[in-house]
Amino acid sequence: VQLQASGGGLVQAGDSLRLSCAASGRTFSSYDMGWFRQAPGKEREFVAAINRSGGSTVYADSVKGRFTISRDNAKNTVYLQMNSLKPEDTAVYYCAAVSGYDTGYARTRLNQYHYWGQGTLVTVSS
């Protein structure tokens, strides 16, 4: 599967953005999906994940209550709605996908994901 992330940009603190990740192929519904981010000088970290059916979602504590992950399997797309953005949310955001055994749960570990998009930059000014 190929992943194309979009929707990043420059916003002010408190603003909202919606990231999208479009996947190629006809088997999107067989992939668990995740969003990760990497700030300058820092390691890539988990943000949010959703399982293939959309019934299980998980969030990093730092974004819980502000970010919402969702997916539209008919459109082969996963979204990350980001509200109440903070300067510390500034990073390159990556979407990722993994297929294989269906655990029924969203996956949170970076090394569980096999496919990665190119990233989209989110900059939040104070």
| pLDDT score for 7 | 98
H or E segment to which residue 59 belongs: strand 57-59
Contact status, residue 82 vs residue 17, Cβ threshold 8 Å: yes
Q: What is the pLDDT of residues 74-98, one digit of tens each?
A: 999 999 999 999 999 999 999 999 9
Dihedral sign computed on CA atoms, order 94, 100, 102, 107: negative
